[in-house]
């Protein structure tokens, strides 16, 4: 009976690897995917997507900034990405007098485009499987000596591939280190802001609608990549010229039909598809609930103070967005994993794995330790993982004054070794950091966080992670009145006093700062965490990694007749599926697209998340939609069954003919467990319809000259 039951589940598990699941390696499409892609409607070849011999789609796709994707949409380096990806750059050009966040920004000529120090666009030159060179000379090695040899090989490969600084070269592990790929990038450093809609379009729906369908967020912004006279990467210079890319995406006005083939190219950040059941259980039953609980407290406190004070509302807007983004995703993830019975599915797969390695002695010898090792390691990890997340969320991310405490040197040793020039640099850097810190800081809010979060730390964490001396220190901060006094006395809470100290900062100030009660508490917590939690946590994780690598190798052998895709690791991938709605709950059927009509339905002048700019309302009422309408309506967003994750924001959504029809920016909430387990019924990515982007640029912003630059096509 048991066997039969397991067999049933295993069969379901394998079947659930649906056509649409996966983030595939562009160089392997020919081998693994192109046939299926073409069956689904794709009309191009694998060479058209990725080629070393000719310009291909991959030449139009870039890493935008640190964690997003972008794409070339004109022969003059015009780059399209999300509003939330360009957010900090748009913000950095904004002030109360010139509020580009609220009003939007449109350069009406290239002279008006705004430089963004530090922002880069990286073009992939090539990717190659370098596993053989990475593993060269490693056979027989183990542990540290193995790692040392691998590192040596990787450094050499990267050094050679960089061609004296021409490229940024990175070797990354795939399949948990069972394979290695080299990636070389051309890094452009002069990337200028061209246009962004007002927040009431680009962030319409705010955190309320984040991760949700139906969606109406016009989440896009436009930049331009600049190069030197030879069309090469160069630091910002006024005489740089627009980059002429090898490839840019033609834009289709033909729109989107249900069941259309749809493909994303981009840089998905992290997924964990091959975890054992123990890991999924830990995430679902402990780390997600813990982090949700802590962040619920943080968000409640933020909301209260934001509602009471308009200044705080602005100061904490992006902190709120940052904190709530993962909070909401974790909730969706738990729900999705439960619904999929993910833990049970993993257990069934593990039973299958056992049956597989039992087939011969060599396999058994190699792979039989894996599952028991996992079991033991995850039991060991569990308490440390709890402590790790509590300290991370509360001490290092939650209570803000602790971040300030962390800016300052911990002792005067380093200080005394520096010369006066360096001292001056440190003072300057500290002064800037502290000013920035206080720009977005509200003491009342932080005091409440301090009280509530430390109370949670004391109440929830096992005492073995809060030794007697820490408890004693913490008990001094139990009383709210007392905390007010502590804040009142602390130099950290007084920007002027603090800047004064910084301006004459020296070894003595360090000693004095150490005596501040908040600094003292923070350093005690941090010191304890580093010595007793972090090290052990890391150690167990390292061991888990070793076992996971072996497990992965086994899975690859066992499933050698199936195509497996490596977990996302922020390298270029291709994912595909089709345009389709879904049924999130009993009796609810979601259509695959939304329109401007829905923007107006949500419009509520009283609700900050649902403002609609007057001009957009006017266009709507006048029915002034230009060539961007479809059956009298302006399409806004649409969904497809494509496997995507964080980092895919800004990815081009490409139709069967290789043309841009959408811009990826999010996923639907019911499918957020796709980072761990994909469900073709529930997992949908959310894209902007490119016609909405063009409508906003042309009709709303009056920046039609940008459209002239693009290559609009229609069949
Ligand atoms: N959920 C999307 C992603 O993970 C968008 C996040 C930005 N928007 C927001 N309201 N916080 O990046
Ligand atoms: N919004 C995410 C991003 O920034 C995309 C996702 O998680 O689906 O990449």
pLDDT in tens, 56-86: 999 999 999 999 999 999 999 999 999 999 9
Ligand nearest to the CA of 321: 1
Residue 512's pLDDT band (boundaries 50, 70, 90)? confident
Ligand nearest to the CA of 207: 1
In angstroms, the CA 381 to CA 78 distance is: 48
Q: Does residue 297 contact residue 49 with C-beta atoms inside 8 Å?
A: no
The residue whose CA is least distant from atom 11 of ligand 1 is: 321
Q: Strand pairing partners for 76?
A: none
Residue 468, number of CB atoms within 10 A of its CB:
8
In angstroms, the CA 466 to CA 454 distance is: 12
**Looking at 84, 216, 537, 643, which residue is catalytic?**
84
pLDDT at 228 over 90: yes
Q: Does residue 174 contact residue 568 with C-beta atoms inside 8 Å?
A: no
The confidence score (pLDDT) of residue 508 equals: 84
Q: Which helix (H) or strand (E) holds 93?
A: none
pLDDT tens readout for residues 332-378 = 999 999 999 999 999 999 999 999 999 999 999 999 999 999 999 99
Average pLDDT rounded to a whole number, residues 508-521: 87
Q: Is 82 in the pocket of ligand 2 (CB under 6 A)?
A: no
The most confident of 66-70, 484-488, 603-607, by mean pLDDT: 66-70
The residue whose CA is least distant from atom 7 of ligand 2 is: 646
Kindly report the CATH number that applies to the domain delimited by 18-120+189-268+567-713: 2.40.10.120
Ligand nearest to the CA of 219: 1
Is 675 designated active site?
Answer: no
Strands 685-689 and 660-667: antiparallel
Average pLDDT, the chain: 94
Strands 685-689 and 593-595: unpaired
Average pLDDT rounded to a whole number, residues 172-197: 98
Which residues have CB under 8 Å from 685's CB, separation 6+?
Answer: 264, 577, 639, 640, 641, 642, 643, 644, 648, 664, 666, 667, 668
Tokens of 171: 């070797």
Average pLDDT rounded to a whole number, residues 388-400: 97
In angstroms, the CA 391 to CA 534 distance is: 10
Residue that wins the pLDDT comparison between 463 and 1: 463
Using the 8-state DSSP alphabet, how is residue 167 labeled?
A: S
Q: Does residue 319 contact residue 441 with C-beta atoms inside 8 Å?
A: no
The domain locations on the chain are 18-120+189-268+567-713, 277-554
| 148: preceding bond cis by omega (within 30 degrees) | no
Is 604 designated active site?
Answer: no
**Helices (DSSP H) in 466-516: which residue ranges?**
468-475, 480-489, 495-503, 507-514
Distance 553 CA to ligand 1 centre (A): 34
For the ranges 52-56, 219-223, 405-409, 564-568, the lowest mean pLDDT is seen at: 405-409
For ligand 1, residues with CB inside 6 Å are 84, 206-207, 210-211, 321, 325, 646, 649, 666
CA angle 703, 705, 707 (to 5 degrees): 90
The confidence score (pLDDT) of residue 16 equals: 41
Instruction: Give long-range contacts, CB 8 A cutoff, 24+ apart: 555-559.
Output: 555/274, 555/353, 556/175, 556/178, 557/363, 558/352, 558/353, 558/356, 558/357
Is 219 designated active site?
Answer: yes
Residue 415's pLDDT band (boundaries 50, 70, 90)? confident
Residue 714's pLDDT band (boundaries 50, 70, 90)? very high
Residue 426's pLDDT band (boundaries 50, 70, 90)? confident
CA 211 from chain centre, in angstroms, equals 13
In angstroms, the CA 388 to CA 540 distance is: 12
Residue 18's pLDDT band (boundaries 50, 70, 90)? low
Closest-lying ligand 1 atom to the alpha carbon of residue 667:
1
Phi/psi for 80 (5° steps) reads: -110, 135
User: What residue has token string 């906003």?
Assistant: 696
pLDDT at 478 over 80: no
Tokens of 409: 């040197």
pLDDT tens readout for residues 111-153 = 999 999 999 999 999 999 999 999 999 999 998 999 999 999 9
The confidence score (pLDDT) of residue 513 equals: 85
Tokens of 339: 């619904």
Q: Strand pairing partners for 64?
A: 68, 121
């Amino acid at each position: 009976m048991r066997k039969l039951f397991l067999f049933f589940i295993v069969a379901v598990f394998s079947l659930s690897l649906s056509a649409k699941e996966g983030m595939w390696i562009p160089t392997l499409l020919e081998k693994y995917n192109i046939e299926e892609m073409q069956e689904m409607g794709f009309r191009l070849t694998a060479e058209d997507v990725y080629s070393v011999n000719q310009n291909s789609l991959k030449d139009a796709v870039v890493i935008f900034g640190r964690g997003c994707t972008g794409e070339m949409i004109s022969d003059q380096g015009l780059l399209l990405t999300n509003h939330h990806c360009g957010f900090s750059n748009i913000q950095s050009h904004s002030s109360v007098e010139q509020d580009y966040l609220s009003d939007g920004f449109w350069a009406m000529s290239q002279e008006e485009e705004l430089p963004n120090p530090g922002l880069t666009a990286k073009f992939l030159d090539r990717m190659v499987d370098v596993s053989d060179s990475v593993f060269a000379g490693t056979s027989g090695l183990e542990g540290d000596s193995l790692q040392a040899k691998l590192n040596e090989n990787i450094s050499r490969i990267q050094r050679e591939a960089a061609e004296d600084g021409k490229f940024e070269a990175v070797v990354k592990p795939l399949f948990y280190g069972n394979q290695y790929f080299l990636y070389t990038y051309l890094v452009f450093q002069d990337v200028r802001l061209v246009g962004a809609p007002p927040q009431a379009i680009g962030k319409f729906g705010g955190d309320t609608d984040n991760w949700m369908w139906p969606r109406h967020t016009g989440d896009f912004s436009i930049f331009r990549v600049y190069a030197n006279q030879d069309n090469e990467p160069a630091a910002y210079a006024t005489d740089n010229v627009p980059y002429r890319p090898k490839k840019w995406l033609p834009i289709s006005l033909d729109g989107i039909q249900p069941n259309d083939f749809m493909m994303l190219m981009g840089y998905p950040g992290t997924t964990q598809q091959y975890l054992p059941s123990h890991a999924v259980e830990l995430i679902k039953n402990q780390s997600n609930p813990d982090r949700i609980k802590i962040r619920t407290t943080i968000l409640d406190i933020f909301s209260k103070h934001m509602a009471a004070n308009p200044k705080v509302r602005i100061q904490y807007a992006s902190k709120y967005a940052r904190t709530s983004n993962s909070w909401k995703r974790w909730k969706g993830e738990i729900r999705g994993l439960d619904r999929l019975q993910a833990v049970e599915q993993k257990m069934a797969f593990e039973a299958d794995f056992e049956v597989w390695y039992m087939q011969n002695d060599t396999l058994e010898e190699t792979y039989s330790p894996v599952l028991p090792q996992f079991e033991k390691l995850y039991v060991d990890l569990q308490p440390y993982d709890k402590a790790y997340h509590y300290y991370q969320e509360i001490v290092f991310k939650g209570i803000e004054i602790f971040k300030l405490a962390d800016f300052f040197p911990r002792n005067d040793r380093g200080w005394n070794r520096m010369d006066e020039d360096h001292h001056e640099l440190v003072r300057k850097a500290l002064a800037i950091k502290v000013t920035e810190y206080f720009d977005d800081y509200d003491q009342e809010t932080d005091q409440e966080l301090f009280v509530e979060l430390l109370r949670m730390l004391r109440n929830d964490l096992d005492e073995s992670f809060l030794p007697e001396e820490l408890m004693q220190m913490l008990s001094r901060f139990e009383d709210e009145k007392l905390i007010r006094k502590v804040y009142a006395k602390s130099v950290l809470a007084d920007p002027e006093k603090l800047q004064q100290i910084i301006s004459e900062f020296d070894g003595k100030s360090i000693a004095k700062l150490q005596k501040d009660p908040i600094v003292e508490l923070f350093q005690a917590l941090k010191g304890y965490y580093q010595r007793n939690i972090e090290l052990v946590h890391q150690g167990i994780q390292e061991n888990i990694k070793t076992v996971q690598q072996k497990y992965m190798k086994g899975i690859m052998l066992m499933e050698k007749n199936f195509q497996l895709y490596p977990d996302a690791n922020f390298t270029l991938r291709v994912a595909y599926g089709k345009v389709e709605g879904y049924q999130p709950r009993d009796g609810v059927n979601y259509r695959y697209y939304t329109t401007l009509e829905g923007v107006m339905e949500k419009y509520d002048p009283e609700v900050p998340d649902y403002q609609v700019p007057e001009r957009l309302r006017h266009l709507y009422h006048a029915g002034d939609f230009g060539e961007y309408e479809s059956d009298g309506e302006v399409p806004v967003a649409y969904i497809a069954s494509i496997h995507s994750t964080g980092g895919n924001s800004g990815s081009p959504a490409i139709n069967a003919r290789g043309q841009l029809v959408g811009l990826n920016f999010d996923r639907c909430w019911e499918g957020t467990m796709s980072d761990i387990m994909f469900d073709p019924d529930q997992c949908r990515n959310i894209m902007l319809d490119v016609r909405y982007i063009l409508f906003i640029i042309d009709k709303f912003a009056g920046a039609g000259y940008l459209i002239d630059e693009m290559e609009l096509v229609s069949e």
